[in-house]
Amino acid sequence: MSASSGSGIRRRHFVAIATGEYDDPVFKPLAVGAEVRALAEWLCSRDLKTLPFVHAHPELAKNPTKQAVRDALEDPPPRGRWREADAAVVFVTGHGVVRDGVHWTVLQASESDRLAATALRTVDLIMWLKDTRIRYLFLILDQCFAGATLREVAAFEKDLPETWLVLPSATRDQEAVEGALTEAVTEFLAELRSREGEQYAGRLYPLLDVQVFLEGVAAKLGPGQRLLPLHGSQLSGMHPCLPNPHYRPPDSAPVQVQRSDLALPQQDLETHWEPRSRGVAHAGEAGWLFTGRDQLLRDLIAATSDGAGATVVTGGAGSGKSAALAWLVTFSDPVFRARHHDKLAAVPTDLRPAEGAVDVAVLATGKTAADIIAQLATALGVPAPAAAAARPSAAEWIDAWQQWLGTRGRPVTVVVDALDEADSPATVLTAVLSRLDPGRDRVRLLVGVRSPGGDDGTSPDVRPTRGIPLADQAERALAAHRVRVDEAPWWNQRDLEEYACRVLTGHPGSPYIPATPEAAGSVARALAARAGTSFLITRITAANLARRPAVVDPDDRSWLTAVDDGVLGVFRADLHTHRQDPEDRLKAVHLLRAVAFARGRGIPWRRIWPVFANAIADDPDRSYGDTDIADLLASPLGGYLTADTADGTTVYRLFHDALGVTLRDHWRDLLATPRVP
C-alpha cells in the first residue's frame, strides 16, 4: 500500500460525532453544523480526483445518543466493520468534561451530575477505533480538556499506529480554547479549496503532507494558541486522510514508472488522434500519431535495436528533439501499447518501436549527476550501493551500475533528454553518461541535447565552452552517432506546417475548427515559412491565433512580424494579448521571471515564489502574493509553466528553457510595444 498516493486503500470513511444541543442547562448550546459541513465538503466531494470519503453514520452528526455511538463504533455488524486496508476521518465536537481524571464526551442527554451513566468516556472511543486495526486514521477531538485524554491513553501510546494523526483541542497556556481547533480547521479548509490553496500541494500530489496541513491549521489559530498532536502521531509525509482538492491526474500518457519522465502529454495524444487533426474525415478512418518525420523516427528506432552504442539527438531550441524522444519512449511502453492497441494498429510497422525497446528514460532538467544515475539504477532494480554518506554519490552508483550491468544477458536501452538543462551538464556527461558502458557493448544510450544555432534563445550554458559546444562534447565523449533533427535528412518543412495546423484546430473554441480546411492550412503554411525550424515558435503563435475570435489573414503583417522576431516576438505578442493593461503585464513578467531564475527542477509556490517575485520586482510599492500567482496559473499565461515534483513538493518551471533565457535577459523587450510592420 502506498501512503504517498493512497493506492491500495479499499474504503474511506468520514464520521462526525457532533453535539450542539443539550438537555442539561449546565451545558450551553454550540454551533457545530458549519464545521461538519466544511469537513464533509472537503472529504466527500465528488470533485476529488482520488476516491472520495463516504459520510458514514450521518445520524451521529446531529446530537447522537450514547447508544447510537456505541452501535456504530463499538461493535458494529461484521459487514460494517472497518478493516486494516481502510482509511477514516473521525471528528468529535461538542462539550468535554474532566471528572476524577477521566475525560468525558458530553452528549445531548448527558447529565452533569451523572456523567459515568450518561456521557461517553472519550478514551473508550479511541480504544474502539484502535480495535478496528485500521491503518490510516485522522481523529479530531475538538472538546474542552481533550488534552486530558493524552494521559488516559498513555498506557497504549507505544502501540499507537505510526500512521494515525490525532489532534486534541487547541490550547492557550495549556488550557483548552473552546472551538478554536474546529474554527482553525474550517478556516484552513476554506483556503485549501480556493485557488490560492493550490500552494499547499500543487496538482501533482493526491494527498497533503501532514506537516503542511498542521502548519496551515496552526497559522489560523489565535495569538498564543498551540496545536499539539497526540504523542506518537504521524507528523510528516503524505497521509491518505488528507486529500488534495487540487490534485489532477498526470496529463501524460499512461506508461510504466521507469518511462514516465518522458511520456508524451495526454493532450498531445488527444489532439493528434482527434479525426480532423489526423487529416481524416471520420473517427473510423485510419490515421496515426506524428505524421511526418519518418526518417527521424526510423533512425531513433534503429538506435534501440541495432546493438550497443550511443546516439546524440541534437537541434536548436524548439526543433522537436524532446517530442521525438518522448514519442519513442511512449510508443515502446507495454502499458501504453495495451491501452491504445487499436490506434497503434494504424501506425506503419517500420514506424513502431518494439515493445520494451526503451528500458528507462530520464529527464535531466535540474538534476545532478548523482540524481540521474540514482534514478536510472533504481528504475532498473540495481541494488543500492553501500554509501559513505547519507546518500550514495554518483561514483558509488556508477560502481553498482557497472557490477549489475555485467550480469545482464542483453543490452539495456537508456534515454536521457535535456542534458543541457541538467545541474552541471558537463559533470553529468563525464561522471555518468560516459561511464555507463565502459566496454561500449552493453548499453544503447540516446541523449537529447540542444545545439546552439542563431538567435534561438539558447541558454549561454549550452553555447561553446572552451570553443566546444556541449552537443559536440557529448558526441565525442560518447563516440556517438549524431542525429541533427533540424537538418536534412531529418528535417522536413511539411512537418512544421502539419503541426501548426493541428494546434490551430485543436484548441477548444478555435475559429479554425468550423472554418474550411484551407483556412487553417494557409495560415499554417505562412507560419511555418517564418518559424524556421522551431516548433516552439510555431506552438506559441498557433495557440495565440487559435484563441482569437476570428481567422486571420495569412498575409497580415501584424502577426507575421511577431514570428519574424523569434521567441521574443511571439512571447511578447502573447503577453500583450492576454495582459492589455501595462501594470498587469509587468506583474506577469515579474512572476514569470521569478520562475526563470529558479534553480533545479523549479520553484515551489508556498512561501518561496512570492518572495522571489518581490525580490525580482525590487519595488517597495509592489507586493505580490498568493492571489497573484493563482491568477497567473488560471490564465492562458499559465500555459507557459509546467509542474514537477522535487523534495516532496510541487514546483513550477517554464515549459521551455528558451522562454527562461528571454525572461532573464530580454524582459524589458517583452514589455515594449510589439513592433509595427
Q: State which of 192, 216, 243 marks the end of a domain.
A: 243
Q: State which of 484, 514, 533 marks the end of a domain.
A: 484
The C-alpha cell at 117 is 451513566
CB-side exposure of 599: number of CA atoms within 13 Å?
Answer: 3
Question: Does residue 33 lie in a domain region?
Answer: yes
Question: Does residue 676 lie in a domain region?
Answer: no
* Residue 197 and residue 264 in one domain: no
* Strand order, beta sheet including 649-654: 603-604, 649-654, 641-646
Q: What is the largest CA-CA distance in the chain?
A: 92
> Is 60 exceeded by the pLDDT of residue 272?
no
Question: Does residue 400 lie in a domain region?
Answer: no
Mean of the per-residue pLDDT values for the chain? Answer: 87
Give tens-digit pLDDT for 65-74. Answer: 999 999 999 9
CB 147 within 8 A of CB 98: no
Question: Does residue 568 lie in a domain region?
Answer: no
CB 479 within 8 A of CB 312: no
Question: Does residue 360 lie in a domain region?
Answer: yes
Question: Does residue 319 lie in a domain region?
Answer: yes
* Residue 347 and residue 222 in one domain: no
CB 546 within 8 A of CB 553: no
Question: Does residue 394 lie in a domain region?
Answer: no
Closest CA to 75 of 39, 23, 138, 129: 129
Write down the pLDDT at residue 253: 75
* Residue 262 and residue 226 in one domain: no
Model confidence band, residue 275 (pLDDT cutoffs 50, 70, 90):
very low
* Residue 606 and residue 479 in one domain: no
* Residue 591 and residue 469 in one domain: no
Write down the pLDDT at residue 168: 81
The mean pLDDT value for 260-282 works out to 52
| Total domains present in the chain | 4
Q: Please, which residues have CB within 8 angstroms of residue 140's CB and are 6 or more apart in sequence?
A: 89, 90, 91, 92, 93, 167, 181, 182, 185
Write down the pLDDT at residue 277: 30
* Residue 469 and residue 536 in one domain: no
The CATH number assigned to the domain holding 343 equals 3.40.50
* Residue 133 and residue 228 in one domain: yes
Model confidence band, residue 273 (pLDDT cutoffs 50, 70, 90):
very low
The CATH number assigned to the domain holding 37 equals 3.40.50.1460
The mean pLDDT value for 647-662 works out to 91
Give tens-digit pLDDT for 381-436. Answer: 999 998 777 889 999 999 999 999 999 888 999 999 999 999 999 999 999 999 99
* Residue 70 and residue 92 in one domain: yes
The mean pLDDT value for 9-33 works out to 93
The mean pLDDT value for 446-469 works out to 63
Give tens-digit pLDDT for 90-117. Answer: 999 999 888 888 889 999 999 999 999 9
Model confidence band, residue 260 (pLDDT cutoffs 50, 70, 90):
confident
The CATH number assigned to the domain holding 591 equals 3.30.420
Model confidence band, residue 227 (pLDDT cutoffs 50, 70, 90):
confident
Question: Does residue 480 lie in a domain region?
Answer: yes
* Residue 215 and residue 322 in one domain: no
Q: Please, which residues have CB within 8 angstroms of residue 647's CB and are 6 or more apart in sequence?
A: none
Give tens-digit pLDDT for 608-617. Answer: 999 999 999 9
What percent of the chain has pLDDT above 90?
A: 65
**Entry field: residues in the chain:** 677
Give the integer Cα–Cα distance in Å for 501 and 531: 14
> Is 90 exceeded by the pLDDT of residue 676?
no
- Range(s) of the domain holding residue 80: 12-243
* Residue 214 and residue 290 in one domain: no
Model confidence band, residue 271 (pLDDT cutoffs 50, 70, 90):
very low
* Residue 235 and residue 365 in one domain: no
CB 236 within 8 A of CB 207: no
* Residue 543 and residue 639 in one domain: no
Give tens-digit pLDDT for 130-172. Answer: 889 899 999 998 887 655 565 565 554 556 788 999 888 765 5
Write down the pLDDT at residue 249: 83
**Cα R_g (the chain), whole angstroms:** 29
Give tens-digit pLDDT for 294-353. Answer: 899 999 999 999 888 999 999 998 898 998 999 999 999 999 999 888 888 888 889 899
